Structure 1
Amino acid sequence: MRALIVTAVAAEADSVAAGLTPHPDPADRDARSRPLPGGRSVTRYDVPGLAFDVLAGGVGPAAVAAATGAALAAAEHPYSLVVSAGIGGGFQPAAPVGSLVVADAIVAADLGAQTPDGFLTVEELGFGRAAHLPPADLTARVAEATGALLAPVLTVSTVTGTAARAAELAARHPLAGAEAMEGFGVAEAAAAHGLPVLEIRAVSNPVGPRDRAAWRIGDALAALTEGFHRLVPVLQTWRHDARND
């Protein structure tokens, strides 16, 4: 099985790679990199029964959707799965800092319209979908293997920085576990190619008032590495449909 793993930035991609390959050699990584249109590149990592291409696709849903689409269109071999991965904010107390969240729904939380009666999603407006649902069998197995919270992950174009905004999102999405900026963009590109998607987030900060001094990015990146180390055995035995055989 071959999977495309998409992060926002290089530090997240490196943490994912460390989980796939405990001691990646930078020279070997350069040799395994393949350029994409637009100046980005994917790097291949092989483990028994699996091949992973890792891509740092940019920050935000638009940039990462474009990068993911380019990688899927330029693939030398067909993919079976697309994974959105990285760090993000956690809704408290369900997703404490340093924990993992696996998305059972990937939700476009701020794509829509504000009205006098409240927020309307793009789906409620009749202009598209507001959520993607990853394969339930896969998300359940990944959450169990990694010790992650299984919950919706919200995609936002602006990171939450106030208590009022956090409360608004929690009221509209009471089961949400995390927020990040890329999952829905990755999911849209995957859906356009008929591929299943998975999202994994390591929590670096609480969703709420912005306090950079309290963020634990290093701990979140370490949790992301450990999560992917535990993910590999799940994917070695998972089959979504005949395309993966």
Structure 2
Amino acid sequence: MRVLIATAVEVEADAVRRGLGDRDDLVVAPIGVGPANAAAATARLLTLAEAAGEPYSGVLSMGIGGGFADVVDLGGLVVATRSIAADLGAQSPEGYLTIDELGFGRAVSEVDPALHALLRGRLRDAVSGDVLTVSTVTGLAGRAQELRLRYPHAAAEAMEGAGVAAAAATCGVAYAEIRAISNAIGPRDRAAWQIGAALQALTGAAATIGDSLEAL
């Protein structure tokens, strides 16, 4: 299986490459921060590969992110069951309205069942749950509580998954998402973040899943 692994930034890409080693069919590419950059860059890479006669059959959004502290520990892994565009909608006096409720589309992207099963089977210590895609990282307790109430099955948040998922759906390839947890979702406390541990977890995850992805 030829798989594109999309990270937001180069430091995440480097962490994944360290785990994968030299694998021709697993390509790691930083695609930018935020859902718009992620969607545009991923769609471009998938389209160029198709035009060159070397299409990808799957794309994996992989990087660090925040986690709900009662669900996953810092340095832990989350394998997404769904990627959700959590702030794509509208505010109203009655509360937040999702893009689905507005009738303009879907905020939820389901991951590919076969890819999800493979990742869960290999990453046995990982938490499985929804991963929220946000354009603004949560930094307040009230915002964290709001997201938790709205998405009770959420385990983590990041900034790219839903964008990568949209590109994958448009191009007709399988999609999945993995997040390594660097910080707790809630009041912003940069000193408490464990980015190094999260990057190490990315490297370990990549080393664990590499053979299985190539064998698909």
Q: What's the TM-score bracket when you normalise by the shorter of the two chains?
A: over 0.9
1:99 and 2:51 equivalent?
A: no
Q: 1:63 aligns with which of 37, 46, 65?
A: 37
Aligned to 1:81: 58
Aligned to 2:129: 151
Find the aligned partners of 1:111 and 1:212 in 2 and give their Cα distance. 26
Find the aligned partners of 2:150 and 2:113 in 1 and give their Cα distance. 22
Aligned to 2:92: 115
| Worse-matched range after superposition: 203-212 or 132-141 | 132-141
Residue 198 of structure 1 deviates from its aligned partner by 0.6
Aligned length: 212
Residue 73 of structure 1 deviates from its aligned partner by 1.2
Q: 2:195 aligns with which of 198, 217, 223?
A: 217
Aligned to 1:36: none
1:72 and 2:50 equivalent?
A: no
Find the aligned partners of 1:118 and 1:134 in 2 and give their Cα distance. 28
Q: How does 1:107-186 map to 2 (within 5 A)?
A: 107-146=84-123, 147-186=125-164
Asked which structure has the greater RCO (Cα within 8 Å, sep 6+), the reply is 2
Find the aligned partners of 1:12 and 1:184 in 2 and give their Cα distance. 18
Q: Secondary structure at the match of 2:154?
A: coil
Residue 237 of structure 1 deviates from its aligned partner by 4.0
The percent identity for this pair of structures is 54
Find the aligned partners of 1:224 and 1:20 in 2 and give their Cα distance. 10
Q: Secondary structure at the match of 1:154?
A: strand
> Residue 97 of structure 1 contacts residue 203 of structure 1 at CA under 8 Å; is this kept in 2?
yes
1:52 and 2:30 equivalent?
A: no
Find the aligned partners of 2:143 and 2:105 in 1 and give their Cα distance. 24
Q: Secondary structure at the match of 2:17?
A: helix
Find the aligned partners of 1:111 and 1:204 in 2 and give their Cα distance. 24
Find the aligned partners of 1:71 and 1:12 in 2 and give their Cα distance. 18
Aligned to 2:182: 204
Which is helix-richer, 1 or 2?
2
Residue 143 of structure 1 deviates from its aligned partner by 2.1
- TM-score of the pair, normalised by structure 1: 0.84
Residue 70 of structure 1 deviates from its aligned partner by 0.9
Where do 5+ consecutive residues of structure 1 fail to align? Answer: 22-44, 239-245
Find the aligned partners of 1:189 and 1:218 in 2 and give their Cα distance. 29
> Residue 9 of structure 2 contacts residue 31 of structure 2 at CA under 8 Å; is this kept in 1?
yes
| Worse-matched range after superposition: 129-138 or 215-224 | 129-138
Find the aligned partners of 2:14 and 2:147 in 1 and give their Cα distance. 31
Could you say if the C-alpha distance between residues 152 and 20 of structure 1 is closer, same or farther in structure 2, counting changes exceeding 3 Å? same
> Residue 105 of structure 1 contacts residue 131 of structure 1 at CA under 8 Å; is this kept in 2?
yes
Find the aligned partners of 2:135 and 2:210 in 1 and give their Cα distance. 30
Q: Secondary structure at the match of 1:140?
A: helix
Where do 5+ consecutive residues of structure 2 fail to align? Answer: none
RMSD: 1.1
Q: Secondary structure at the match of 1:123?
A: helix
> Residue 3 of structure 2 contacts residue 213 of structure 2 at CA under 8 Å; is this kept in 1?
no
Q: Which has the larger radius of gyration?
A: 1
